[in-house]
Amino acid sequence: MSITPLEFARGNAEVYRNQLFELLRIPSISTMPEHNDDVRRAAEWLMANMKQLGMQTAELLPNDGHPAVYGEWLGAGPDAPTILVYGHYDVQPAVLADGWSNPPFEPVIRNGVIYARGASDDKGQMFTHLKALEAFLATEGHAPVNVKYLIEGEEEIGSPNLGSLLSTHKARLVADVCVISDTGMAAMDNPAITYALRGLAYMELHVTGPKRDLHSGLGGPVHNPALALSQIIAQLHNADGSVAVPGFYDDVLPLDADERAALREIELDAAAFIRETGIPAVWGEPGYTLIERQTARPTLEINGLLSGFTGAGSKTVLPAKAMAKISCRLVANQDPERIYQQVRAFVQQITPPTVRTELRYLNGGTPALVDRNLPAMQAAISAFERGWGAAPSFRRSGGTIPVVADFARELNIPSILMGFGLESDGAHGPDEHLSVEMFHRGIATSICFMEALAEKGR
């Protein structure tokens, strides 16, 4: 009696976890140049793993930044559907001092949960799709669909080279559907398919005053740049919590009654949200529910502030400059570049004559909204029912996967976002983690998706 791919995957659970640990140990932080070698090492590790599990092709796709890893297995033949799996092997910065319980690049399992930077976002989730193909090839010698893998190394810095990569390799990347596992569900027994993602416009605001730091005893006739920065930032929101930048909401596609009704069904429990995050009270744009504020409405966040003396103790300095990292989460049909222009124009308008300001655009991503009525969506529902053990709900994500928009634009294919993580996995923060059980259910769900897509067709 032969073993099924699902059985094989379960039997190899420990092997797969150990492989994932190898990948998690590589600090592939794409935004920090001192980690460039680590990013490359992670790409090469992934390419080797693809070859080892039996892909027909596995190579690095060079570009102006960190290479993407491309692998394919096309043995199902031209009549079978083709899946393009997209994921990323790069991660956010992380150091122990941020509040981690273990060194972020020394993965550990505590109470059935893997703790490591990248465990959930996105090494752990992405890796499930590689292991799904491996389970087919190791048992049946072939998979029911053709599979292409595009695993990039620049997602955490806004995928600056992915558009040109998709364009360059367009012919090779042809597929029926893109599958991405880089999103979260509220609870393990409540899986979700994400049909909307917010976009991003990431900026840096610089305020300068005196040409060098002054002794604060000279203060009085000088507009303090840290003060001026605070005053400018304070004007970016209205008193009610909405964004005050003129035109900011102009391109927002309004929610229709059906969608608002569906979102009400999965509205955040305010008390639980307060408990989980530790905030004293919820906040945000009036007229919208918490889940709408988090996933269906744009935001303007301050991601960082730096000015003057920030060490222990006191330094009586009047700083020469002040800096803020500012990013907007966007929703369909907002455009990152247009939002940047609007924020810049507003900042210029409210800059007092006593300081100078400059708003720089760092990177961005277009928001995405996927049709919930596609056949591939039905295959995904069936995959969760069989592979995960629970029917999925449809959700919006507050995060950004800019490539969903890129795939629609460059390859003209829809993306199915089947997340295998939890919203509470702590992506981008300290103690990022992924449940061991969810990692293995993810592999099973990917196996079932391949089978279901082969049945339901394209």
The residues in 153-172 that bind a second copy, with binding defined as CB under 8 A, are: 157-158
State the nearest-atom distance from the C-beta of 168 to a second copy, in Å: 24
State the nearest-atom distance from the C-beta of 146 to a second copy, in Å: 32
**Does the footprint of a second copy cover residue 285 (CB under 8 A)?**
yes
- Cβ proximity to a second copy: between 111 and 211 the closer is 211
The residues in 211-270 that bind a second copy, with binding defined as CB under 8 A, are: 211-224, 226-227, 229-231, 233-237, 241, 268
- Cβ proximity to a second copy: between 144 and 426 the closer is 426
CA distances from 255 to 77, 177, 200, 306 (A): 42, 26, 19, 37
- Cβ proximity to a second copy: between 428 and 456 the closer is 428
Query: Which of residues 110, 264, 315, 372 is near a second copy by CB under 8 A?
Result: 315
Question: Beta strand 192-197 with 393-397: parallel, antiparallel or unpaired?
Answer: parallel
CB 73 within 8 A of CB 146: yes
DSSP characters over 92-154: ----GGGT-SS-TTS-EEETTEEESTTTTTTHHHHHHHHHHHHHHHHHTSS-SSEEEEEEES-
State how far Cα 212 lies from the chain centre. Answer: 39
CA distances from 367 to 123, 335, 402, 412 (A): 23, 8, 7, 16
CB 426 within 8 A of CB 433: yes
**Does the footprint of a second copy cover residue 422 (CB under 8 A)?**
no
Closest CA to 448 of 173, 177, 143: 143
**Does the footprint of a second copy cover residue 410 (CB under 8 A)?**
no
CB 449 within 8 A of CB 387: yes
**Does the footprint of a second copy cover residue 206 (CB under 8 A)?**
no
Query: Which of residues 14, 77, 78, 283 is near a second copy by CB under 8 A?
Result: 283
Which listed range, 170-178, 404-412, 419-427, 435-443, lies at the site for a second copy (CB under 8 A)? 419-427
CB 59 within 8 A of CB 432: no
State the nearest-atom distance from the C-beta of 45 to a second copy, in Å: 23
State the nearest-atom distance from the C-beta of 406 to a second copy, in Å: 18
Query: Which of residues 303, 333, 348, 349 is near a second copy by CB under 8 A?
Result: 303
State the nearest-atom distance from the C-beta of 127 to a second copy, in Å: 20
Angstrom distance (rounded) from CA 336 to CA 361: 10
DSSP characters over 169-201: TTTTT--SEEEE---EESBTTB-EEEEEE-EEE
Angstrom distance (rounded) from CA 204 to CA 225: 15
**Residue whose token pair is 């570049």:** 337
**Does the footprint of a second copy cover residue 36 (CB under 8 A)?**
no
DSSP characters over 233-264: HHTTB-TTSSB-STTTTTTPPPPPHHHHHHHH
- Cβ proximity to a second copy: between 107 and 298 the closer is 298
CA trace torsion 260, 253, 422, 106 (10° rounding): -160
Angstrom distance (rounded) from CA 364 to CA 346: 19
Contacts of 260 (CB under 8 A, 6+ apart): 292
State the nearest-atom distance from the C-beta of 108 to a second copy, in Å: 18
Query: Which of residues 148, 198, 433, 440 is near a second copy by CB under 8 A?
Result: 198
**Does the footprint of a second copy cover residue 273 (CB under 8 A)?**
yes
- Cβ proximity to a second copy: between 47 and 192 the closer is 192
Contacts of 335 (CB under 8 A, 6+ apart): 251, 366
Which listed range, 136-144, 162-170, 290-298, 372-380, lies at the site for a second copy (CB under 8 A)? 290-298
- Cβ proximity to a second copy: between 279 and 391 the closer is 279
- Cβ proximity to a second copy: between 212 and 256 the closer is 212
Which listed range, 14-22, 196-204, 340-348, 402-410, lies at the site for a second copy (CB under 8 A)? 196-204
Query: Which of residues 2, 310, 373, 412 is near a second copy by CB under 8 A?
Result: 310
**Does the footprint of a second copy cover residue 333 (CB under 8 A)?**
no
Which listed range, 46-54, 70-78, 244-252, 283-291, lies at the site for a second copy (CB under 8 A)? 283-291
The residues in 425-444 that bind a second copy, with binding defined as CB under 8 A, are: 426-431
**Does the footprint of a second copy cover residue 327 (CB under 8 A)?**
yes
The residues in 51-110 that bind a second copy, with binding defined as CB under 8 A, are: 92-93, 98-99
Using CB atoms within 10 Å of the CB of residue 408, give its burial: 0 to 12 exposed, 13 to 18 middle, 19+ buried. middle
State the nearest-atom distance from the C-beta of 381 to a second copy, in Å: 24
Query: Which of residues 60, 109, 266, 305 is near a second copy by CB under 8 A?
Result: 305
Angle formed by the axes of helices 13-24 and 436-456, to 10°? 110
The residues in 347-386 that bind a second copy, with binding defined as CB under 8 A, are: 352-356, 362-363
**Does the footprint of a second copy cover residue 114 (CB under 8 A)?**
no
- Hey, what are 18's tokens? 């150990």
- Cβ proximity to a second copy: between 29 and 83 the closer is 29
